[in-house]
Amino acid sequence: MYNSAIKGLGFYLPENIVTNNDLSGLMDTSDKWITERTGIKERRWVNDDKLTTSLMGTYASERAIIDSGIDKKDIDFIIFSTLSPDYYFPGSGVLLQRNLEIKEVGALDIRNQCSGFIYGLSIADQYIKSGMYKNILVVGSEIHSGGLDKSTRGRSVSVIFGDGAGAAVVSATTSNSGILSTHLHSEGKFAEELAVIKPATSFWIDKIKAETNKDDTSYFPYMNGNFVFKNAVIRFEEVIFEGLNHSNLKKEDISLLITHQANLRISQYIQKRLNLSDSQVFNNIMKYGNTTAASIPIALTEAYKSNLIKKGDIVVLAAFGSGFTWGSAIIKW
């Protein structure tokens, strides 16, 4: 029986940097206001109409494939996670396959928002352990900037989100290192607490055309911030310990914890609850904001490229977000 291991990593970010001071020119906010509430100092927003979600995913994937040392023709499955696809349909996975100019492999699209990469990693892990595939490309890519309410009305959400993409090549290995376990959860009763409600099949083309309420905010992301925060810190801790216990590990065994980069205050709260040192936790939300499905692969790649992960380390990934969905992955590097 094979194990699965992350063999290559890569990420891509738009060149356009948007600082907190830049946002103060668009809405009633300030660097102090944003930093105190989120820890974010800047983010990347696409300002090139030709740069799409699938294209950013392609750039991140090309870097991950090079890092893996395999030929792109050896990729035999694609898992693409995003809440901001190029089109309503088809999904971005097939566009990525086309962009990479690889054989007609299966392409699966995931709509699990902030937890999307963890869900994708879990699916890849199961496929490889079953022997169905040997090299799976797992991608998270997001362009939020085009769908944000960049006014004072929407500032509590719009200051948080950034654009970016991250990718991992997950490959079969006979080693006993690699992905030790993954754990996935959902709680749909809170779906509307963090959501974009329209457009929807219940509010489709004819109703959109007839829409007369120019102040309708249901086309923009809505987040019940305090409620999401309270749920996030509980679920993060639960799912991290679920993974550790399953693998017969303790919190003291964690070499590096990388949580979904939702809010620096959440990450710091979890760090304190687990009594981890600064060297055991990696955050980059300060530079990139919340990039949803892309945040964990971007952070994982940065940590890896910065030599913060070495062979034999226990790396813990955890995410919580819209759905509500949450999950964790325990990896022996």
Active site residue ranges: 114, 260, 290
> By CB neighbour count within 10 A (0-12 exposed, 13-18 middle, 19+ buried), where does 294 fall?
buried
Residues 6+ apart with CB under 8 A from 150: 23, 26, 27, 158
- Vertex 307 angle, CA 286 and 243, to 5°: 75
Q: Are 146 and 88 in contact (CB under 8 A)?
A: no
DSSP state of 309: -
Closest CA to 303 of 5, 11, 69: 11
Reading phi first (left if > 0) and then psi (alpha if -120 to 50, else beta), residue 308 is in alpha
For residue 68, give Cα distances in angstroms to 100, 148, 297, 316.
Answer: 15, 35, 14, 21
Residue 57: both structure tokens together: 């995913």
d(CA 257, CA 320): 14
Closest CA to 166 of 124, 121, 117, 127: 117
Return the H-helix or E-strand segment holding 113.
Answer: none
